[in-house]
Amino acid sequence: MSNVLSEAKKQQVIALGRLGWPLRRIEQETGVRRETAGAYLKAAGIGVRPPGAWGQRAPAKPANETEVTTGSDAAKPANTVNPNPNPENLSSKGKTKATAKPANESEVITGFGVELSASEHQPPPLVPSTSLCEPFRDAVELGLSQGRNAMAIWQDLVSESGFRGGYQTVKRFVRKLRGNQPPQPRAVIITAPGEESQVDYGTGPMVRDPQTGKYRRTRLFVLTLGCSRKAVRLLSLRSSSRIWAELHEKAFRRLGGSTTIPL
């Protein structure tokens, strides 16, 4: 692999690849070269859209041909117009329109009798576009209330809610919601080395039971040190008081010692 990406950038590329984004768009969104993004997607087993013909372009029109279509003459063929007509070849009607002064400020009379209103040249008013994150506003606000950043919120929206936008879209939406508000202060609990550890016990992934050969739900045991935040994660197919104690012993054995206060 030509470049080694960080874990966050790698997950971003893989998530966009699962959405079916082409390599060119992934490069524009993340700044990762197409060759590197393609290598990571192939390694993750995600098909990469091959470069192919997207259709042939329509032949360009000659520079000396101009099409003028009106409501009643829409079916008429295009007229060939000489870009530098000789004034002597114009009819008296054409000469009059070519030299006549505009009747008012809102009309423009050309040398070939085509009258265009000034209102037709004005571009349509810009309508502010709605962000792709607007339907997911509640989920974004919930993530912000939990202290999650834009990258974590974007990954949750892609994996759980089917969000098809890019990371930059979520980043702009999060910045808009936060505004100029400073981050809220949070309490930090400081413990001495070897003083305190915390245990979390919950549901783990599905694994195959070596005794029965069937898939079963495991129990996840996580012991985290209060000072360094180093953690040991263990899986168990069964749960009991004896297994609970054995998981503590195995975790402390991996850490090389026990703490004074296990929580």
Q: What is the pLDDT of residues 162-179, one digit of tens each?
A: 888 899 999 999 988 887
pLDDT above 90 coverage of the chain, percent? 21
Name the residue among 224, 231, 233, 234 with its Cα closest to residue 196: 224
Whether 94 is in a domain gets the answer no
Q: Which of 101-115, 119-133, 188-202 has the highest average model confidence (pLDDT)?
A: 188-202
Contact 136, 161 (CB under 8 A): yes
Give the structural domain span for 26.
Answer: 7-43
Whether 18 is in a domain gets the answer yes
> pTM of the full predicted structure?
0.35
Whether 168 is in a domain gets the answer yes
pLDDT tens for 67-98 read 444 444 444 444 544 555 555 555 554 444 44
Could you give the maximum distance between any two Cα atoms of the chain, in Å? 110
Q: Return the pLDDT at 85.
A: 52
To the nearest whole number, what is the mean pLDDT of the chain?
A: 76
Whether 49 is in a domain gets the answer no
Contact 203, 217 (CB under 8 A): yes
Same domain, 166 and 212: no
pLDDT of 256 strictly over 50: yes
Higher pLDDT, 228 or 188: 228
pLDDT of 111 strictly over 60: no
Q: What totals of helices (H) and strands (E) does the chain contain, helices first?
A: 8, 8
Same domain, 200 and 254: yes
Contact 108, 102 (CB under 8 A): yes
Whether 245 is in a domain gets the answer yes
Cα 46–chain centre separation: 17
Q: Return the pLDDT at 187.
A: 74
Whether 233 is in a domain gets the answer yes
Tokens for 60? 């360009």
Q: Return the pLDDT at 222.
A: 94
pLDDT tens for 215-245 read 999 999 999 999 988 999 999 998 999 999 9
Whether 143 is in a domain gets the answer yes
The count of domains in the chain is 3
Whether 229 is in a domain gets the answer yes
